[in-house]
Amino acid sequence: MSERTNRIRAFVRGEWGCVSHGGRTAADHCLGVGALLEEAGAQEQLVHAGLMHVIYGAESYPGLEDKVGDCDASLLTAEERALIHHYSRVSEKSLSIAGITSNPGFLRDRDQDDPLEFSREESKHVCLLLLVNILEQFLAEPDNPIFQAQRNDLARPLAGLAQISGEIGMRIYAMAYHDHKINNGSTA
């Protein structure tokens, strides 16, 4: 990866290393998302969006909002910021629909619950970020009771997200299953 990727990683480590994200830090989670994307061969733009995917939802994590500041202006391109913004607008209700459709038009707005108007490529990238965000947490915290409770409910939506997000999504999904970290909604 590029020097800019290394600068983004350094920012995430330095600024988010003390911010709680479940049983880990926001830095651990974001670096894990970026690593999954990179390992699967995702474009650099997607790796950067994965590394910084929490910037528009920072208010959800106490202590993170103060550490985001203008980081995206100097570290991310306009396209990367737009992708993260799209990702941050998606309602979690969309996940329940993902398992029953291969139409990327299922993505719903977090605030109004209306369908979001994304291009096919934008939908694909947003689905990939949703998929990797969830899988990274399952893989990193397999014993977390919150994720254990959600495994069965998310098995189908994760498969749907992988299908919609294309080759990279399918590769990440297959890596997770091949590693026996998750297996049809249960641990192996």
Segments forming the whole domain that contains residue 130? 3-178
186 in any annotated domain: no
184 in any annotated domain: no
Alpha helices, DSSP H only, in 59-165? 65-68, 71-75, 78-89, 93-98, 120-140, 145-164
Average per-residue pLDDT for the chain: 77
User: Distance between CA atoms of 5 and 75, rounded to whole angstroms?
Assistant: 9
User: Distance between CA atoms of 113 and 108, rounded to whole angstroms?
Assistant: 5
185 in any annotated domain: no
Residues ≥6 apart with Cβ < 8 Å to 131: 158, 161, 162, 165, 169, 172, 173
Instruction: Calculate ∠ Cα 116-159-48, nearest 5°.
Output: 60
Please report which helix (H) or strand (E) contains residue 174, including its range: helix 166-178
pLDDT of residue 13: 93
The most distant pair of C-alpha atoms in the chain lies apart, rounded to whole Å, by 42
Strand partners, 92: none
For 182, the token pair is: 């998750």
Alpha helices, DSSP H only, in 24-119? 26-39, 44-51, 65-68, 71-75, 78-89, 93-98
User: Distance between CA atoms of 59 and 30, rounded to whole angstroms?
Assistant: 16
N residues, the chain: 188
pLDDT, tens only, 156-178: 677 777 877 888 888 888 877 66
Number of folded domains that form the chain = 1
188 in any annotated domain: no
69 in any annotated domain: yes
Q: Which residue has the higher pLDDT, 132 or 97?
A: 132
User: Distance between CA atoms of 155 and 187, rounded to whole angstroms?
Assistant: 12
**Is-above-0.75 flag for pTM?**
yes
Q: Of 156, 157, 164, 137, which Cα lies nearest the Cα of 148?
A: 137
- According to DSSP, residue 24 is labeled E
pLDDT, tens only, 57-72: 656 666 555 555 556 5
pLDDT of residue 119: 82
7 in any annotated domain: yes
46 in any annotated domain: yes
Write the CATH number for 105: 1.10.3210
